[in-house]
Amino acid sequence: MEPLVHRLGYVALNVSDLEGAVEDAQLIAGASLVELTADRALLTSNARHAELIMHRADHSSLRAIGLETLDPAHVDEVARRAREAGLRIVSETPSLPVIEKSVTVAFPEGHVIEVHTPMPRDRPRRYAGPGIHPRYLDHANLTAADPAASAQLMMQVLGLKLSERTEGWELAWMRAGDGRHHTLGMAKSADGGGLHHYSWEFADFADFKRLGDVLDAQDRTLVWGPGRHGAGDNIFAYYVDAAGFLVENTAEMEIIADPHFQPRIVDPGENLSNFKVVNRWGQLPSREWMGHFNACAVLG
Ligand SMILES: [Fe+2]
């Protein structure tokens, strides 16, 4: 069966300095501001109404991940599977008025996922302004104390497919209907359920050079990369944004079209030392990258 979700819909973050976080996303990533109210900002990098959503809060945390489905009936199927698995349905009212239909589910380690009908394509495809101007927001890598259980439950409820995992499930990468090697990743963390990073898709390798230079102009640096991941075959570079989130920028991710694809099982090496899986160009991750963690927001 086709995955129930087609692609990443949005990433929603809680941030303590909303204006500062918005300015950072505009200046560095080059996202376009769609709407800024007293307590919420919507940003996008293309025609989609919102991709990066920021809420004013006491501290930075992962609020929710949106996954876009092409079929409204799949929203009902996700709700059915979530109830069957004993998960809490947080809401069946869409989080944004522009979304027609959705269900929001809380997973056991605190991840909140909204499966929703497509975000309207009501923004200009291109826009003026500073920063890199990525193509779209493409994936998020979550953390869990028990990544095998969390990943398997998400595959069961959301219909994601396993593309690749490490032998002990320390890392797992799951794809949606668009075939990208991963739309959601899962990594083992002693900190428990949270977000390791979210990722923009860049158009060109020249964008990575500009990213380094834009960060340098602000007396900031990349925390890892550029390099090429073995898992996903994607080019990457990471920085930490003003709100304290780890932001990946990626290009050329592997597309898996084969419906019968057998997941790869790989050995990451001790402390992610296997270059062939971690970074085929050789530089191993920084301590800052390895230890990065943002918690899930606590549901009211
Ligand atoms: Fe990533």
Same-domain status, 84 and 149: no
Domain boundary among 58, 87, 116: 116
Measure 84 CA to ligand 1 centroid, in angstroms.
30
Say if strands 52-56 and 7-15 run parallel, antiparallel, or are unpaired. parallel
Domain boundary among 87, 116, 145: 116
Q: What is the CATH number of the domain that holds 181?
A: 3.10.180.10
Measure 199 CA to ligand 1 centroid, in angstroms.
6
- pLDDT tens string, the chain, 300 residues long: the values are 678 999 999 999 999 999 999 999 999 999 999 999 999 999 999 999 999 999 999 999 999 999 999 999 999 999 999 999 999 999 999 999 999 999 999 999 999 999 999 999 999 999 999 999 999 999 999 999 999 999 999 999 999 999 999 999 999 999 999 999 999 999 999 999 999 999 999 999 999 999 999 999 999 999 999 999 999 999 999 999 999 999 999 999 999 999 899 999 999 999 899 999 999 999 999 999 999 999 999 987
- Which is nearest to 229 in space by CA: 188, 183, 285? 285
User: What is the pLDDT, as a whole number, of residue 31?
Assistant: 98
- Which is nearest to 293 in space by CA: 59, 68, 96, 57? 59
Same-domain status, 289 and 168: yes
Measure 151 CA to ligand 1 centroid, in angstroms.
15
Measure 186 CA to ligand 1 centroid, in angstroms.
10
Same-domain status, 101 and 218: no
In a 3-state reduction of DSSP, which class is residue 227? strand
Same-domain status, 146 and 112: no
CA 104 from centre of chain: 16
Largest CA distance in the chain: 52
Same-domain status, 98 and 203: no
At 77, give phi and psi (nearest 5°): -65, -40
Same-domain status, 146 and 285: yes
Measure 278 CA to ligand 1 centroid, in angstroms.
11
Measure 238 CA to ligand 1 centroid, in angstroms.
9
Measure 149 CA to ligand 1 centroid, in angstroms.
20
Same-domain status, 104 and 54: yes
Same-domain status, 150 and 278: yes
User: What is the pLDDT, as a whole number, of residue 98?
Assistant: 98
Q: Which two tokens stand for residue 160?
A: 């994601």
Q: Which two tokens stand for residue 296?
A: 């899930």
Measure 265 CA to ligand 1 centroid, in angstroms.
18
The number of distinct structural domains making up the chain is 2
Measure 93 CA to ligand 1 centroid, in angstroms.
29
Same-domain status, 154 and 281: yes
- Partners of residue 142 on adjacent β-strands: 186, 195
Measure 38 CA to ligand 1 centroid, in angstroms.
31
Same-domain status, 142 and 290: yes
User: What is the pLDDT, as a whole number, of residue 71?
Assistant: 97
User: d(Cα 175, Cα 76) in Å, to the nearest integer?
Assistant: 20
Same-domain status, 183 and 273: yes
Distances (CA, A) of 44 to 31, 122, 138, 244, 255: 6, 11, 12, 19, 23
Measure 123 CA to ligand 1 centroid, in angstroms.
26
User: What is the pLDDT, as a whole number, of residue 299?
Assistant: 82
User: What are the DSSP E strand ranges found in 182-273?
Assistant: 184-188, 194-201, 224-228, 235-240, 246-251, 264-266
State which residues form the domain around 234. Answer: 136-295
Same-domain status, 110 and 223: no
User: What is the pLDDT, as a whole number, of residue 55?
Assistant: 98
